[in-house]
């Protein structure tokens, strides 16, 4: 029995992927939203609000480019739902940049400009002399999205299963993390299925993941380091920052590095299936109770 079939025994039969028109009130959210844990607070904030928004807009653009080639109406409908969710993620985190981090004294413009350059210039569609080459370029970008979405699913599983509630975390930050994470788990198979629809190549999957790993390591190191340097409340040495990260992961308020490595290696299995990671039932259950998602439905 495949991993997806095993997971399906305990999962909803079918979940319609759709955007939820959420909003968050950032007026009273403190920079140290996990009390007593400035490093964990800044790392999570930098990942969510600096790295993801520009990338998620890029996801939407690539999927919009790919949709005319999709003849499977069920897959096309799922892709449109994915685009809606990713667009709402980008919008929500953009508002956090202006209404939360800027208010707290963090100048986010330098990092934002770097990611704009990466996604709007380096990863923009290239112009080729043949339609076939243009198509292949799009397919490689679809596989890169699948690789990055593997990590957003891992972060989604962490967001739904961490120990934040034991630390009296700010409820707005907790909700945006868990709402976003739950939707990442909810649509965790979409990017993989889309890339396979266009090009079921194990080589291209692995190559995209290697590129994705290098990009994410550099991006997360850059944004987290910048955020921590700009935080006016403390100044730690580089070794101390790593020590604080390891302490935070031991408390389950930051992802454990061994879990990230484990799930990275799983991706290279020839029969890898995203449904083997996380639980759709858990994600849907949180989305039914999320304050922001409930307000959107109301």
Give the 3-state secondary structure of residue 117: helix
- Residue 7: its pLDDT value, please? 40
CA dist 133 and 224 (Å) reads 37
CA dist 65 and 125 (Å) reads 9
Burial level of 14, CB count in 10 A (0-12/13-18/19+)? exposed
Q: Which of 83-87, 203-207, 232-236 has the lowest mean pLDDT?
A: 232-236
- Which candidate, 63, 65, 70, places its Cα nearest to that of 84? 63
Instruction: Tell me the pLDDT tens digit for each residue of 129-188.
Output: 899 999 999 999 999 999 999 999 999 999 999 999 999 999 999 999 999 999 999 999
């Amino acid at each position: 029995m495949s991993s997806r079939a095993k997971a399906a025994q305990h999962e909803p039969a079918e979940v319609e992927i759709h955007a939820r028109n959420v909003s968050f009130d950032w007026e009273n959210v403190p920079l140290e939203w996990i009390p007593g844990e400035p490093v964990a607070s800044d790392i999570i904030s930098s990942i969510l609000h600096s790295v993801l928004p520009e990338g998620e807009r890029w996801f939407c653009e690539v999927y919009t480019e790919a949709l005319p080639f999709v003849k499977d109406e069920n897959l096309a409908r799922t892709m449109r739902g994915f685009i809606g969710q990713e667009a709402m993620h980008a919008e929500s985190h953009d508002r956090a940049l202006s209404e939360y981090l800027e208010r707290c004294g963090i100048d986010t413009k330098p990092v934002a400009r770097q990611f704009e350059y990466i996604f709007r210039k380096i990863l923009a569609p290239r112009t080729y002399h043949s339609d076939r080459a243009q198509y292949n370029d799009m397919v490689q970008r679809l596989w890169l999205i699948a690789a990055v979405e593997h990590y957003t699913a891992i972060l989604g599983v962490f967001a739904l299963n961490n120990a934040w509630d034991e630390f009296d975390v700010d409820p707005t930050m907790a909700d945006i993390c868990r709402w976003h994470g739950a939707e990442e788990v909810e649509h965790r198979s979409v990017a993989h299925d889309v890339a396979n629809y266009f090009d079921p190549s194990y080589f291209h999957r692995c190559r995209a993941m290697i590129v994705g790993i290098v990009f994410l390591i550099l991006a997360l190191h850059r944004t987290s380091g910048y955020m921590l340097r700009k935080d006016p409340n403390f100044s730690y040495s580089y070794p101390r920052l790593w020590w604080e990260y390891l302490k935070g992961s031991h408390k389950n308020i930051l992802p454990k590095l061994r879990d990230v490595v484990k799930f990275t290696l799983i991706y290279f299995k020839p029969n890898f299936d995203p449904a083997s990671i996380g639980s759709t039932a858990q994600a849907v259950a949180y989305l039914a109770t999320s304050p922001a998602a409930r307000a959107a439905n109301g």
